[in-house]
């Protein structure tokens, strides 16, 4: 009997991840709620305080906010939460009693990694779209003094609606790649958080730091969405988004696909040498 093809195994992997996380799993009880609640609480909390200060008689403490600076916390929290969730989930696959079953069901283990990227990437993309709509529609209505200029239908708002989900989807690929490379789930999460929040920001302190920072993947991705930041995209907005996608794909192939292919080729070579020796 022929073994299932890659497409079948990828579909099987997505279905298996759905079955594994259905119910009271970490994904649906902690990760996804945090993905929604944390950016909304921070965004609207800051907006409420700023609006209050701006409306004090005779005082103006805060400048009006444009669309380009309205969804910062969605990208800061939601994308990172789903990325580290994907890394933790993939890093955990080799632990527990189901590791042998996972190997038996998915002989081409890179298909599991790709299925997990698709699964968590789609959840991240859909979540960010919903959050973007809620934030950009609610802010100008609830806080018109400061956020009246925020408009989901202007060029910045429309750009957010398609670039942020792509960024979120690709970031989950980075998470799966790091989860493949680092076998300890908590260590994989720590590496990702250090990379995003410390390493790329502190890179400009190194010799020729600004030159190096121009190639920082996550900074390029955030700037590519149209978010108002001091960092200038190295390759232009669209080019920087493509750059981040290429980084995600390269990391995924390097960490999740190439080692498997190398081990398989080595196994085939040893088998061939053994057979030739017996002959």
Angle, helices 109-142/32-54, rounded to nearest 10 degrees:
20
Instruction: Write down the pLDDT at residue 37.
Output: 96
- List the structure tokens of 198: 């410390």
In the chain, which ranges are continuous DSSP H helix?
Answer: 6-21, 26, 32-54, 72-73, 80-91, 99-105, 109-142, 144-147, 155-181, 185-194, 200-202, 209-213, 217-224, 237-252, 258-278
Q: What is the pLDDT of residues 190-239, one digit of tens each?
A: 999 999 999 998 888 888 778 888 899 999 999 999 998 877 777 888 99
- Single pTM value for the model: 0.88
pLDDT (tens digit per residue) in 157-170: 999 999 999 999 99
pLDDT band at 108 (very low <50, low <70, confident <90, very high): low
């Amino acid at each position: 009997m022929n073994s299932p093809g890659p497409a079948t195994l990828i579909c099987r992997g997505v279905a298996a991840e759905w079955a594994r996380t259905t119910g009271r799993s970490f994904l649906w009880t902690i990760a996804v709620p945090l993905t929604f609640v944390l950016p909304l609480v921070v965004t609207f909390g800051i907006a409420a305080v700023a609006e209050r200060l701006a409306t004090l008689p005779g005082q103006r403490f805060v400048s009006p906010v444009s669309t380009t600076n309205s969804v910062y916390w969605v990208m800061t929290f939601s994308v990172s939460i789903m990325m580290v969730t994907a890394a933790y989930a993939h890093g955990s696959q080799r632990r527990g009693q189901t590791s042998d079953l996972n190997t038996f069901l998915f002989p081409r283990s890179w298909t599991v990694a790709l299925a997990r990227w698709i699964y968590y990437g789609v959840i991240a993309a859909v979540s960010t779209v919903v959050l973007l709509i809620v934030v950009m529609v609610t802010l100008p209505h609830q806080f018109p003094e400061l956020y009246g200029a925020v408009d989901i239908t202007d060029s910045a708002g429309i750009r957010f609606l398609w670039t942020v989900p792509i960024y979120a989807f690709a970031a989950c690929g980075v998470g799966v790649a790091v989860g493949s490379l680092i076998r300890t789930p908590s260590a994989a999460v720590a590496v990702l958080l250090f990379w995003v929040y410390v390493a790329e920001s502190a890179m400009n302190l190194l010799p020729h730091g600004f030159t190096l920072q121009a190639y920082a993947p996550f900074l390029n991705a955030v700037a590519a969405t149209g978010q108002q930041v001091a960092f200038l995209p190295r390759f232009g907005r669209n080019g920087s988004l493509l750059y981040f996608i290429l980084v995600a794909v390269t990391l995924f192939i390097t960490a999740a696909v190439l080692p498997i292919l190398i081990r398989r080729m080595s196994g085939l070579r040893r088998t061939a040498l053994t057979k030739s020796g017996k002959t």
